Amino acid sequence: MNPVTDESFDNLIRILEQYLALNHSFRTMLRSKLQETTYKKGSRILNFHEKQKIAWFMLDGLAREIRVNGETFEEKTMWFWSEKSFLYTTPGFFSQQPSECTIEILKDSRMLLISYQDWTDLKEDFKETEFITEKIRGTYDKLRQEHIDDIKNLNTVDRYLKHKAVLLQLLAATKLKYVAEYMSMSADRLGKLRKNY
């Protein structure tokens, strides 16, 4: 763990200020509660049934959320996080319930992190913490719901074409199997779509 660099903190503030302008006192307190670190490809930074004691902001890198079947322990990729993303699971960080997912680093990543206790302290001292948190959660909930709707309502060709640019970036960085799981199609089907379109 390292102190937060000016560049990293500025990257975080730019994202947070998309939701609310932040005063100097809030910025100072937030910075004092953050740490910066790196994770190597293959690291699992959160395990199934573990309480998420840390929330992350990815400065650069790539990670995936893996849903784990509680009976068979079979794993399925449910989500990807790339740079300028907040990493947390639901249930997980905010409820402090055991996570039903695992978070795995797919590409060497650099992140800012805050502990649950430091986030709680920040929330008690600055009312804007709760507002920003709910805005971030709302944004991510909306993105996840849109993804679920696409899986339900679009055939595999339309799904692929709608998300082609993002899928090609993911396919260049990680396994076809993971991307296929995320898109709720077979790896064979995704491979054919990539070849044909």
CB-side neighbour CA atoms (13 Å) of 181: 17
Strands 44-46 and 35-39: unpaired
Residue 141 domain flag: no
> CA 43 to CA 108: how far, in whole Å?
9
Where residue 65 sits, what CATH number does that domain have? Answer: 2.60.120.10
Residue 88 domain flag: yes
Residue 103 domain flag: yes
From 89, 83, 67, 84, select the one nearest 178 (Cα to Cα).
Answer: 67
Residue 188 domain flag: no
Question: What pLDDT shows up at residue 139?
Answer: 97
Question: How many domains is the chain partitioned into structurally?
Answer: 1
> CA 152 to CA 14: how far, in whole Å?
34
pTM score, two decimals? 0.94
CA angle 139, 142, 147 (to 5 degrees): 130
pLDDT, one tens digit for every residue, the chain (197 residues): 899 999 999 999 999 999 999 999 999 999 999 999 999 999 999 999 999 999 999 999 999 999 999 899 999 999 999 999 999 999 999 999 999 999 999 999 999 999 999 999 999 999 999 999 999 999 999 999 999 999 999 999 999 999 999 999 999 999 999 999 999 999 999 999 999 99
Judge whether 163 and 197 are in contact, CB under 8 Å: no
Q: What are phi and psi of 183, to 5 degrees?
A: -90, 0
Residue 98 domain flag: yes
Residue 41 domain flag: yes
What's the sign of the alpha-carbon dihedral 22, 26, 32, 35? negative
Judge whether 109 and 63 are in contact, CB under 8 Å: yes
Question: What pLDDT shows up at residue 70?
Answer: 87
> CA 186 to CA 197: how far, in whole Å?
16
Q: How many CB atoms are located within 10 Å of the residue 18 CB?
A: 10
Q: Which domain covers residue 37, as residue numbers?
A: 6-125
Residue 186 domain flag: no
Q: How many CB atoms are located within 10 Å of the residue 158 CB?
A: 11
Q: Strand runs (DSSP E) across the chain, as ranges?
A: 35-39, 44-46, 54-68, 75-82, 85-87, 101-115
- Contacts of 90-93 with CB under 8 Å at 24 or more apart are 92/46, 92/51, 92/52, 93/52, 93/54, 93/55
> CA 45 to CA 70: how far, in whole Å?
19
Residue 161 domain flag: no
